[in-house]
Amino acid sequence: MCMKIEFPCQCGEENAQFNNLNNILPPSVIEKVYCPECSSEVTVNKDTMLVDNNWIIEYDMEQVKFLLAKMDIPAAQITPEFIFDERYSTWQGVTPTDMVESIREREEIVKLAKVDKKKYVETIKSWSINRMQAFMDAGWRKAQPRTA
């Protein structure tokens, strides 16, 4: 089970939704979140920060390494990219605001089901495919094919 975690960005204009894989890591491993607006003033520290499409997550790497060491994960392997890509602490959805946006978008499409079921099925299928393609094209990290 993954617990929903929400953090405001540093300027307070946006909220990012996270989940931490099986609650292995507590929400406190996320120190700060920067949206594209407030990230422009940030000097990125690659040892503690992950940049995803102009959003920045700053992790408490000391806490993360301590907790993941209990799982026999070598400290050298534990980077912000590892934490994010292996889902230990990552967006809930593909983007920081994906879950909120997708609910809003689906609500509009669901209205079609009451009027035209065939159109609804076609629309929901194409929406899903087009949405993921848009995420890939925009460069969102979780939408990119994973390399081994």
Query: What residues does each domain of the chain span?
Result: 4-91, 98-143
pTM: 0.90
Alpha-carbon gap, residue 4 to 18, rounded angstroms: 6
Per-residue model confidence (pLDDT) at position 148: 61
Bridge partners (DSSP) of residue 92 are none
- What are the structure tokens assigned to 27, written together? 């929400």
Per-residue model confidence (pLDDT) at position 50: 98
**Residue whose C-alpha is closest to residue 14's, from 130, 97, 127, 116:** 97
Order of strands across the sheet with 49-52? Answer: 30-34, 55-59, 49-52
- What are the structure tokens assigned to 100, written together? 């909120």
Per-residue model confidence (pLDDT) at position 3: 64
Q: What digits encode the pLDDT tens for the residues 54-90?
A: 999 999 999 999 999 999 999 999 999 999 999 999 9
